[in-house]
Amino acid sequence: MSCAVTEPVPANIDVLIVGAGPVGMTLALALADSPWRVLLIDRRARGAWADDPRALAIAHGSRQLLERLKAWSEPAGTAIREIHVSQRGGFGRTLLKAQDYGVPALGYVMRYRDLAAALDSRLTAEQLLAPCRVERIEAGHEGASVTLMHNGTTRCITAKLVVHAEGTPQDEPGIRVCDYRQHAIVAEVRPHPDHQHRAWERFTPDGPLALLPLGDDYSVVFTVPPEKADRLLRLDDAGFLAALHQQFGQRLDFVATGARSSFPLALRLRSQTTQQRQVWIGNAAQTLHPVSGQGFNLGLRDAWELAEILHTQTDAGNPNGLAAYARRRQLDRRAGMAFTDGLVRLFSNELPPLRVARGLGLLALDLCPPLRHFVAKRMIWGARSWL
């Protein structure tokens, strides 16, 4: 294969980040003041994220990290001051309040596209090459040879370390897959009365239903079995609002809705997040169910901690550095996976004794401050709540 190496692709770099989603961009920014030559690539054109319909709940601790990168968009974020957790058709509920933890908000809600725009605005034209595809990676002792396709030209470069931040992986060896047989319908919906910065997490037999305050609206994540998702997508607006109301219950009315989109939900967990000269972060390492909004927050911490370790290395792909990274991230990623997976399984089972046990659990959370604080701190700080 003939390989051209011309501008704008340098022939030798230290860190190649594959995937300019929020996690890949975070890593590129966190390495901006390092001695490393870093290149970020994405297979889609720059700004393709503008079509993404998702909104993300961003933990208070994640906001602090984004602020340190000057990539926090204050006007685009809506504060979550309370989270109300309950189950449909069962007793028990718990209420988490920011004021109990001395923080201005438990978290913030921001559209994926606004977050991506804030991160992208900090990247120079030289830092991000897009659209650009990886054709082949050959990892060796000293570095990885990578074949890229950019502007119809094949280019070969070497990198000391290849970071995979390409998002959700396909089925492949080394990936544990658990299909939840649930789809998330995402929409922005106007509530009545106002949301007053309260988020709702309501567990239903179909799956969790989350309402996240976003501007004057709620960003809704309405989880249902695939057949029901198809039906919900086909309804007109009035029919969809009625279905949402029925699923949520009487406490709120919904008066208008924006466009709807659907995401299939599965757990995808990579058993080994490092290999010779390669590391996987963000959704490429673990794709979680969106319940309780852990996925991006976990990926952000992957990027942050990888950058911290790379700052201490003399060779970006040093196996000891990669092993230290894998060790440091193990508890957080396993806990994030267990937390979301456990919630989905526990609340999707309709056996009457389980419904009673869940009600008692929610009641216990509400009545037992240490338990409640543990869950709230997981929402605010992520891994740090375990220490």
- Across the beta sheet with 78-80, the strand order is 55-59, 107-111, 78-80
Residue 86 or 294: the one with the smaller Cβ distance to ligand FAD is 294
Contact between 77 and ligand FAD (CB under 6 A)? no
**Contacting ligand FAD within 237-296 (CB under 6 A):** 263, 282-284, 290, 293-296
Contact between 201 and ligand FAD (CB under 6 A)? no
Of 16, 157, 175, 184, the one binding ligand FAD by CB under 6 A: 184
In angstroms, the CA 321 to CA 314 distance is 10
In angstroms, the CA 80 to CA 26 distance is 23
Of 71, 186, 224, 267, the one binding ligand FAD by CB under 6 A: 186
Is the omega angle on the peptide bond into residue 22 within 30 degrees of 0, that is, cis?
Answer: no
Asked if 197 and 82 touch (Cβ cutoff 8 Å), the reply is: yes
Q: Give me the least distance between CB of 41 and ligand FAD, in Å please.
A: 6
Of 44, 97, 122, 197, the one binding ligand FAD by CB under 6 A: 44
Residue closest to ligand FAD (Cβ): 21
Residue 136 or 192: the one with the smaller Cβ distance to ligand FAD is 136
Q: Give me the least distance between CB of 324 and ligand FAD, in Å please.
A: 21
The CA–CA distances, whole Å, from 296 to 19, 21, 86, 323 equal: 14, 10, 24, 23
In angstroms, the CA 204 to CA 367 distance is 22
List the beta bridge partners of residue 214. Answer: 217
Contact between 166 and ligand FAD (CB under 6 A)? yes
Contact between 92 and ligand FAD (CB under 6 A)? no
| DSSP reduced 3-state for 39 | strand
**Residue 39 CB-half CA count within 13 A:** 24
Residue 61 or 317: the one with the smaller Cβ distance to ligand FAD is 61
Of 42, 82, 188, 217, the one binding ligand FAD by CB under 6 A: 42
Contact between 307 and ligand FAD (CB under 6 A)? no
CB atoms within 10 A of CB 296: 25
Q: Give me the least distance between CB of 60 and ligand FAD, in Å please.
A: 12
CB atoms within 10 A of CB 264: 13
Question: What does the binding site for ligand FAD look like in residue numbers (CB under 6 A)?
Answer: 18-24, 41-44, 54, 56-57, 133-134, 165-167, 184, 186, 221, 263, 282-284, 290, 293-297, 299
